[in-house]
Chains A and B, each alone.
Chain A
């Protein structure tokens, strides 16, 4: 019993060092079930979305199995269960207990359930307004389709971008994928005596993860980008058109508001990076070539909306 107390105390200390989204710390004084068995059973029973820091110690005695749970800010508590005959069932039972008590009840669903807002005190003294109950947010869809309009800026000036996207949320834990096709408006720049008109639609694939939960969701993403650069000259002695592929990377931060329907509205700031230099060249017979470098870093800021399909 003393050693179990020590383990629980140690677990509490470890908890203090754990981040809010760390996996639960599990220990066991038995091989049946072992901590590893319980951890394996626990996988899939909880999500990263709303995880509270918790540590669990499993103690097996004659006829009973005790699961001691320690959270960051509360005293330890135990659940005593009858001992199952086999290790697998014991591990499953312990995992169920841990998972059931693991998730913290969200401030969004509960704090807002009773927003005990107090309006300014009147002459009769303060009173409490209990608002009418709010409808819950629907279950979050996993496939979202969206469109956006963004302003872009780079070393060559400003532009505008229209984008369309498909996002699959929670593909692996809290991580999802977003595929986006963006079409900037064609731009022009002077090169020697003529003008080059260039256009670079981009296909980007980003790994995204929400940083917050609730009605307002802040999420970030990063991933590779592939651009198709189309350049056409005008006003030159000989006008040429060329097409080239650009490989790069994209990273973005998005603040989205999820309405009670399946619509979400968002604002996003993203960066596009093109590591390889790309130039537009004007070859003039009898004199040196003139080069104009295409921007390698682009910033985009814009608004959009998405619809949760299912």
Chain B
């Protein structure tokens, strides 16, 4: 019997939610790491019982945790994130130089093949890697030293490296995104990086088409088409079909093209999901209606999915790491809100239900498709 396991990170702890393949009855764990901010939890694709979690606190800093039993028990692992070289400065909010300082781990991306190798995207923006299951972390400094770092600037959430996408067809290639620097690609396993922001247009920076400085919110890929990426930018939904060399806008008929998460259907590489948010100054859904928008044409033509979602008086946000899809035959789609709800659709977005209503504000949602529930 197949099943799914949701890894939900919140402002006050982590929750693990499980269901069988029907996905109609859910069990919610007690909070893990209660009172701490759990920016992200993610499982190794190579070992589904190996989980990693980023546990942070304004008081006590960064803790990393690892589980080898699917999240039942956890052990703290290495939490020393030191920049490999003199960090230098990036732009501060007022445009002045500001020293690079480690604050927290935003995103964890385990290797597709080795459970002991994990990439971590951090604030202030940099990419780290462990090859010993998290005991030690080393910066991959080629990204921060790309040469444009002095022009990177923090978004409202900080100067964070929040997205890491591994190319399943090429272990030397990966994509990352930073708010607010943009998207970057490596083709040599992380030694050197190229900004891949051609085609992006961001009126909030002095040169709207600059090579760096764009506030990219999220990038998603379907593993069968690693040349095609979808992007939710601060404003604009974009796509590339040449691994980021050029982007074009596919916002089409969306009611607003501001938002945070974007994801791709597990079995339909041209079916994508976004959650439109009214604006960057309001951060809630337009008209108080929580709607997931789905495009089955790889963008431009979008349809609202509302069945089971609140269609009045809803003013939550959905953050960039808070959407995921499972890979069961009928693709499940999941997202969490800043109001503490977790919504699930077992049928590609046609029908939704709240599988948790009263959690702390949700920061991240990941899902594992398991052979047994």
Do A and B truly interact?
no
